[in-house]
Amino acid sequence: MKFQLDKGEGRHYIQYYQADKCICVNQIEYPHSLILTAHHIAPWSAKHNATLTAADFTPLFTLHPHFVLFGSGKRHQFPHPDLLTDFYTTGTAIEIMATDAACRTFNVLMAENRAVVAALLL
């Protein structure tokens, strides 16, 4: 799925997402899950919603997010509620959606200059 959006200077924008293949950010294809903000990009060791652990979400909290977009893969699928405990205790909002929808939403939020962390399962 391709996206068209003008790239803001120095920010990360998602050009396209191909399920099970890659997420393209600023002309670079990443063949793995990602943690993404306006100015930070890192590989994410998480692979599938079914195998997530609470430790998989730990890198997100080092970015001190107020809001997290979680792309759960090809399908909109909630992680086990026990895995979301740190979000509840820190007051960090999380929105869960399929990865393609999370990619589109991330770009819209970047265009609005909103602070968001995206955790995207490939």
The domains found in the chain, sorted by start residue, are 14-120 (3.40.1230.10)
- Please give the pLDDT value at position 35: 98
This prediction's pTM: 0.90
Spatial separation of the C-alpha atoms in residues 107 and 62, rounded to whole Å: 22
- Please give the pLDDT value at position 9: 66
Of 6-10, 76-80, 97-101, where does mean pLDDT reach its minimum? 6-10
C-alpha dihedral over 56, 59, 65, 71, to 10 degrees? Answer: -40
Report the mean per-residue pLDDT for the chain: 92
Single-letter residue type at 40:
H
β-sheet with 14-18: strand ranges across = 14-18, 22-25, 28-30
Question: Tens digit of pLDDT for each residue in 82-106?
Answer: 999 999 999 999 999 999 999 999 9
- Please give the pLDDT value at position 10: 80
User: How large is the average pLDDT for residues 63-74?
Assistant: 94
- Please give the pLDDT value at position 2: 54
User: How large is the average pLDDT for residues 48-61?
Assistant: 94
**Hey, how many other C-beta atoms are within 10 angstroms of the C-beta on 25?**
22
